Structure 1
Amino acid sequence: MIAKLTGKLDETGDDWAVIDVGGVGYLVHCSTKTLATLGERGEGCTIFTQLQVSENDMRLLGFASAEERDWFRLLDTVQGVGSKVALAILSALSTGELRDACAGSDPATVARAQGVGPKLAGRIVNELKDKAGAMPGAAGGAMGGGVAAVSAAGGASADAVSALQNLGFKPAVAAQAVARAQEELGPDAAEGDLIRVALKRAAG
């Protein structure tokens, strides 16, 4: 199986790119987020891939990171989520947002993706919520790592979590967002700065 391509970006479309590897052009179908990372035509790039074979088709799917590819594979296990829908979800949400939505039981966030209705979003969250914490980038399993980090820090972090909850965010989502803000800003960050950065992380 082709797991990764390193070459030059030859051409792109709305949901695909052609990667020239030693004179051979590989057509890969990608999320818009992955396409945005590939750079300009003629520039070098690396893309992680998944070969998908069906009765009537064979296509190569491309991802900016191994983590994004792992999420694609996980999404593809959910009934009603094919490659097109999975790429639409990965176009609308970062892997961190998707992980938080599943672990925090937040189907409304998943439903932001084109072609994903409330029923399918609910199924995705229900089936993947217990697996989200084991995905790459998860701290401490599910949402627990973020909650533990904030609880240990206390003070400004705890106040920032409370502020996000008052704005309507679920406790687990608020805790994870503040934990990420804490990592970015450092342990001595002020409450106002934590809230500002955490809002960006929680709202996506």
Structure 2
Amino acid sequence: MIGKLKGTIDEIGEDHVVVDVHGVGYVAFCGAKTLAALGGAGEAVILFIETIVREDMIRLYGFSSAAERDWFRLLQTVQGVGSKVALAVIGTLSPGDLANAVALQDKAMVARSPGVGPKVAARIVAELKDRAPAFSGADAEESFGLKRDIGGGTASAPIADAVSALTNLGYARDQAANAVAAAVKEAGADADSAKLIRLGLKKLAR
């Protein structure tokens, strides 16, 4: 099994890149974001690889980070999501954006991916809500859990009110949730909405 490729770019296609590793060209299928970040022919490249073996083929999928590869694997555990759909999601959303979408149960964000309809997007955020924290990073776990509560409607009234107030001021829901999560970490879970709003605005102003 191939887990990583380090070589030079031989050519870049519409949905793949050929990586020359000591004279051997490996075809790795990549998402739009990964392909866009690559250099030109002859430039050095490192790709994290997921190798999928089937009866009639062996296919390599390339990612710019291990986190993207982890999400690619995780997405395929969702009913109705195969490698094509998983790659489309990874090609549209960064690992951080995807983690936030799952935490906030924001199916509309996931549905921005080509070929991903509302029903599939809803399944992705619903089925991954209890498993995605492991992929958001240890430092972000507390914040992630809070944002999941906000998205699921189970957050306390002061927290929900603070997020609502910040979104009413024009901030995106994800920005507001991030700011309030940071505010709760600083002020404590018992802080009232006024304090959370004030601290949240300070976070957003940085």
Q: Distance in 2 between matches of 1:93 and 1:177?
A: 20
Distance 2:203 2:142 in 1: 26
Within a 5 Å distance, the mapping from 1:1-204 to structure 2 comes to: 1-137=1-137, 139-141=140-142, 143-144=144-145, 162-164=165-167, 166-167=169-170, 169-170=172-173, 174-176=176-178, 191=201, 194=204
2:10 is paired with a residue whose SS is strand
Separation in 2, partners of 1:125, 1:160: 20
SS of 2:120's partner is helix
Question: What is residue 155 of structure 1 aligned with on the other side?
Answer: none
CA distance 1:58–1:169, shift in 2 (3 Å): same
Letter in 1 for 2:167: L
Q: Matched residue pairs, number?
A: 177
8 Å Cα contact 2:8-2:42 kept in structure 1: yes
Q: Give 1:26 deviation, angstroms.
A: 0.2
1:110 deviates by: 0.6
Q: Which has the larger radius of gyration?
A: 2
> Cα offset for 1:128?
0.4
Q: Which runs of 5+ in 1 are unaligned?
A: 148-157, 181-188, 198-204
Runs of 4+, deviation exceeding 4 Å: 158-161, 177-180, 189-193
State the superposition RMSD in angstroms: 2.9
SS of the equivalent of 1:115 reads: coil
Aligned mates of 2:203, 2:41 — CA distance in 1: 38
Shift in Å, 1:58 = 1.5
**Displacement of 1:16:** 0.2
Output one character per residue of 1:100-120: Cα deviation in whole Å (capped at 9) or x when no partner: 011111111111111111111
SS class of match (1:100): helix
Q: What secondary structure sits across from 2:141 in the alignment? A: coil
Deviation at 1:140, TM superposition (A): 2.1
The TM-score with structure 2 as length reference comes to 0.75
- CA, structure 1 residues 11+105, in 2 after alignment: closer, same or farther (shift >3 Å)? same
Which residues of structure 2 form unaligned runs of 5+? 149-160, 183-198
Q: Deviations over 1:152-191 (max 9, x none)?
A: xxxxxx9898423554854x762226778xxxxxxxx994
TM-score with structure 1 setting the length: 0.75
